[in-house]
Amino acid sequence: MKLKFYLIALALFSNMAIFAQVVAEQTNFNYNLAYCVGSSNSTAWIGDEIVLMIEGETPSDRNIQYMTQAIEVFENIYSGYASITGLNNLPNQSSYNGKTVVEIVLDNCGAGGLAHHGAKGMSTGVDLFDRLYNSIRNNNLAVPQVFFYEINRNFWSPRFNDKFDWAMNNDPSAWGWWTVGMNNAQAVMLSASLDYELDYFGQDRKGFRDRMVKNLDDYINDTQYDFEFGWKQSLMPWNDRESINDLMSGLLIYSYENFGGDQFLNGLYRYLRTNEIPNRSGVFAFQECRDNIYKIWSFSAGRDLVSFFEDDLRWIISQDAKDDVSVTLTVDEFDKDSAGLKIYPNPTNDLINISTTLNNSLTEINIYNTLGQRVFNESFNELNEVAINVSAFEAGMYFIKHENFVTSFIKK
C-alpha cells in the first residue's frame, strides 16, 4: 500500500515518475515531424527504445501503467517492421535522448499522421493516441490504423519505388502509389502478425482487410479489366471513389495470405533492398514493372506464380522474365540438398554414374539444363546405381534430381 501511494505521489508532485522501467519527465521539446508546432512544454514517456512525447501535458495527466502498455505497443510495431524488412539500422528523424520519438500533439498540422521515409519517428494528434490509450484502459486493445500506416513510411525507402512503381493517367509525376498501397496493407499484415486488433475509425482489422481485398476480387472477377484498364488509372474504373492504391493493398494482402505470410514478406523486402532484381528504367516502363513484380513475388513465394499473374491478373509477362524465374527457382530447388546422391566422374565426356548414399533405391532420374528444361527422364526398378550416357548433351552444367535430392555435374 505504501508503494502504491509512493508511485501516485511521485506522479502527482514530481516532474518524474517511474514504473516498470518507464520514465515520465517534463521537457521543452522541439517538434520535428509535427512541423507546425515548434517548441512546446511536453511530457516525455520514455521506454527502452521509444519515447511518447505528448504536447501540453504533465506526468500526472496519464496513468503510468497504461502508458507503459502504449509504449510496448509502439516498440513491438517498430521491432516487427525491422524484422520483416531487414532494416535494423535506420536513423531517427525525431529523437529524444537518442531514442525514437512518437510525437503526440494537440494539432498535427491538419494531418492524421506524419512521417518520413527511411528514418524513424512519426507524429499524430492526441485524439488518435487517445483511441489507443482508452482501448488499453478498457482492456480491449485496438491499435489505430494510422500508426501502422505512418511507421511503414519509415521502413519504405524511396529507392524501393525504383523496382516497379509506374506512372498513372499518363502523367510522369503521378507515381508513388505502391507506397500508399503497402502502408494500408501493412496495417492488416503486421497487426495480424503481432496479434493486435486494428482500429480504423471503428472498423476492425477484418473489416478493413475485406475492403482492400474486395477491390482485387472485383478486378479478378470482371474480365473486361486488365493491366491497361485497371492498373494504369489513379481511380479504379469500376469504382471511381476508390484509389488504385487500395487495389494494390488488396494484392499485397492476398499475396501475404496465400503465398507464404511473413516469409513471403521477408523475401519481398529482400528483393526491394538488394540489386538482385534490376530497377525499372522509368515510370513508363510498364513491362519492366510487371516483370519485376512477377519475379519478386515468385522468388519470395518460392514458386512460379506465372499462372496467377497471367490468368488471374491478366498481366502480360515477358518470356525473358518467365525464363529467369524458371531457371532461378530450379537452381534454388537443386541447391537444397545433394547429400543423398553421389555422381562420378564429374566432369564427364560420356557416362555419368549415379548412386544413392542413403538406404533407398533409384526409381526415377531427371536431368535439367541451366534454363530449367528437363533434358532426361528415366524410371528404374529400384537400382542402387545407374549409368547414364550424356555424350549427346551440349557442354555445360546440368542438374540431377532424384526424389528430394539434387546435385550437379559438368558435361565437357
Assess whether pLDDT exceeds 50 at residue 4: no
pLDDT value at position 363? 84
- Tell me which of 5-14, 107-116, 192-201 is least confident: 5-14
- Binned at pLDDT 50, 70 and 90, residue 20 comes out as low
- Binned at pLDDT 50, 70 and 90, residue 93 comes out as very high
Assess whether pLDDT exceeds 50 at residue 3: no
Assess whether pLDDT exceeds 60 at residue 155: yes
Assess whether pLDDT exceeds 70 at residue 8: no
- Tell me which of 4-8, 113-117, 177-181 is least confident: 4-8
What percent of the chain stands above pLDDT 70? 91
- Binned at pLDDT 50, 70 and 90, residue 24 comes out as very high
Q: How far is CA 152 from CA 74, 163, 185, 205, 244, in A?
A: 12, 18, 10, 17, 18
Q: Report, as an integer, the average pLDDT of 86-101.
A: 96
Residue type, 65: Q
Pairing type for strands 396-402 and 385-389 reads: unpaired
- Binned at pLDDT 50, 70 and 90, residue 5 comes out as very low
| Burial state string for 27-42 with b = 16 or more CB within 10 A and e = fewer than 16 | eebebbbbeebeebeb
Assess whether pLDDT exceeds 90 at residue 371: no
pLDDT value at position 12? 40
- Binned at pLDDT 50, 70 and 90, residue 338 comes out as low
Assess whether pLDDT exceeds 80 at residue 42: yes
Q: Report, as an integer, the average pLDDT of 351-375.
A: 81
pLDDT value at position 69? 97
pLDDT value at position 409? 83
pLDDT value at position 339? 52
217 closest CA partner among 177, 257, 186: 257
Q: Report, as an integer, the average pLDDT of 314-332.
A: 85
pLDDT value at position 404? 67
- Binned at pLDDT 50, 70 and 90, residue 358 comes out as low
Q: Report, as an integer, the average pLDDT of 20-47.
A: 94
Assess whether pLDDT exceeds 80 at residue 219: yes
Assess whether pLDDT exceeds 50 at residue 17: no
Q: Report, as an integer, the average pLDDT of 121-140.
A: 98
pLDDT value at position 340? 66
Assess whether pLDDT exceeds 90 at residue 361: no
Assess whether pLDDT exceeds 90 at residue 373: no
- Tell me which of 79-88, 91-100, 326-335, 362-371 is least confident: 326-335
Assess whether pLDDT exceeds 50 at residue 116: yes
pLDDT value at position 48? 95
Assess whether pLDDT exceeds 70 at residue 359: no
Tell whether pTM > 0.75.
yes
pLDDT value at position 357? 64
Q: What does the mean pLDDT of the chain come to?
A: 90
Assess whether pLDDT exceeds 90 at residue 370: no
